Amino acid sequence: MSTQQSAQTEPNANAGFAPGWYIVAASKDVGARPKPFMLNGLPIVTFRDSNGQSVSLLDRCAHRNAPLSAGRVIGGNIQCHYHGWEFDGAGACKTVPGLCGEPDHPARRVPSFACRDSQGWVWVYSEPDVDPESEPYDIPCADQPGYLTIREHLEMPGPLDAVAENALDVPHTAFVHAGLFRKNADRKPIEVVIRALDGGVEAQFIGEERPKGLVGRLLAPQGGEVFHWDRFLLPCIAQVEYRLSDRSHIITTAALTPRTPTVTDIFATVAVKVPVPNAILRGIFKPVAMRILRQDIEILRRQTEQVKRFGGEEFASTEIDVLGLRIKKLLREASRGKASTAQEERRIKMLV
Ligand code: FES
Ligand SMILES: [Fe+2]
């Protein structure tokens, strides 16, 4: 981005919703009872069919629109609590209590969503009644030998693009998380390589020293150079990877699910390999991670309120806002069915 461009403000431009696979729950939380959730404003219910497979339907009974999630699961079908109609995992009507004829009929179907259990999460494909060509994203290092894997679900105030930018944004860490990662006072120049990926974008940070804060000491007690990448992959993956020799590796994969235009669920998988015993790591990691996340929640809540108060976004950016606008562009193009053709590889200097 040129200096001239960076002096301009960008008009309000909605990022849009990119079709694809989204996490909606932890696998362990989908069991005998129907579980409701919202995907991009759409109420969906997930439950397990008679084979134990997770399945998802629109959370609206075909009969009189009662929420199916308020019903129960019987023999792998979901039963509406109003008149007892039952639907299987594909949305076909299997029972209409009191009806002498055949219950199944195209007009009595409930739209269904492709659903998979993968790596401890339930993933749902955002478009109803399609057999997706792709499978859910494969989360790197999750449950691999030598890695401690932590899964967390959090609700963030903000649209998906703002939450993704926040998760992958380096400049805010010296302020919002002062002392935990970086300090504003002792900045050093580093190089950032911004690269287009297939359906995504990454920023690689070169020459970064081990952060002096608590997170740095935890990640790399022995110090040394840090290899650091921030990535966004369509439709919903925000990933932060740190590597220090082959002894320390931490890769956080946040799958972002837009619940509404201003609330985004984060389903985070953190895979950590550091020369620290797992019990100690677990004991330190969670309180630190929660502190960081609470700080992010607070700033995102304020940002979202401001955007609402002023009736839209009006952003000014510089070249060190490396991923935010690129994420918006990827989402906007994907929401219009356009595949990104960006071939970019750009190097910039930055003080971190
Ligand atoms: S509304 Fe669901 S069975 Fe009548
Ligand atoms: Fe943050």
- pLDDT on residue 323: 97
What's the CA gap between 11 and 312, in Å, rounded?
A: 9
- pLDDT on residue 219: 65
Q: Name the residue with the closest Cα to ligand 1, atom 1.
A: 64
- pLDDT on residue 284: 81
Beta strand ranges found along 189-344 (DSSP E): 189-197, 200-209, 225-233, 237-244, 248-260, 263-273, 315-316
- Report which residue type is found at 52: G
Residue in 90, 117, 112, 106 with CA at minimum distance from that of residue 44:
112
Which ligand is nearest to the Cα of residue 168, counting in written order?
2
Domain chopping of the chain, boundaries: 21-125, 148-351
Dihedral angle sign, alpha carbons of residues 178, 179, 180, 184: positive
What's the CA gap between 119 and 92, in Å, rounded?
A: 28
- pLDDT on residue 276: 80
What's the CA gap between 175 and 192, in Å, rounded?
A: 20
Q: Report the CATH fold assignment for 148-351.
A: Naphthalene 1,2-dioxygenase Alpha Subunit; Chain A, domain 1 (3.90.380)
145 forms beta bridges with: none
What's the CA gap between 299 and 187, in Å, rounded?
A: 23
- pLDDT on residue 8: 44
pLDDT tens digits for 75-93? 999 999 999 999 999 999 9
| Residue from 58, 64, 95 whose mutation best tests the ligand 1 pocket (most atoms within 8 A of CB) | 64
Q: What average pLDDT does the structure give for the chain?
A: 91
Which ligand is nearest to the Cα of residue 93, counting in written order?
1
- Counting as low any pLDDT under 50, the low residues of the chain are 1-9, 11
- pLDDT on residue 187: 79
Residue 38: which residues within 8 A CB-CB, separation 6 or more? Answer: 44, 259, 260
Architecture of domain 21-125: 3-layer Sandwich (2.102)
CA end-to-end span of the chain: 19
Atom of ligand 1 at shortest distance to CA of 66? 1
- pLDDT on residue 262: 94
- Report which residue type is found at 223: G
Q: How far is the CA of 319 from the centre of ligand 2 (A)?
A: 19
What's the CA gap between 82 and 65, in Å, rounded?
A: 9
Q: Are 295 and 197 in contact (CB under 8 A)?
A: no
Which ligand is nearest to the Cα of residue 71, counting in written order?
1
Task: Kindly report the pTM of this predicted structure.
Answer: 0.92
Q: How far is the CA of 22 from the centre of ligand 1 (A)?
A: 28
3-class secondary structure per residue, 210-228: CCCCHHHHHHCCCCCEEEE
- pLDDT on residue 156: 97
Q: How far is the CA of 163 from the centre of ligand 1 (A)?
A: 37
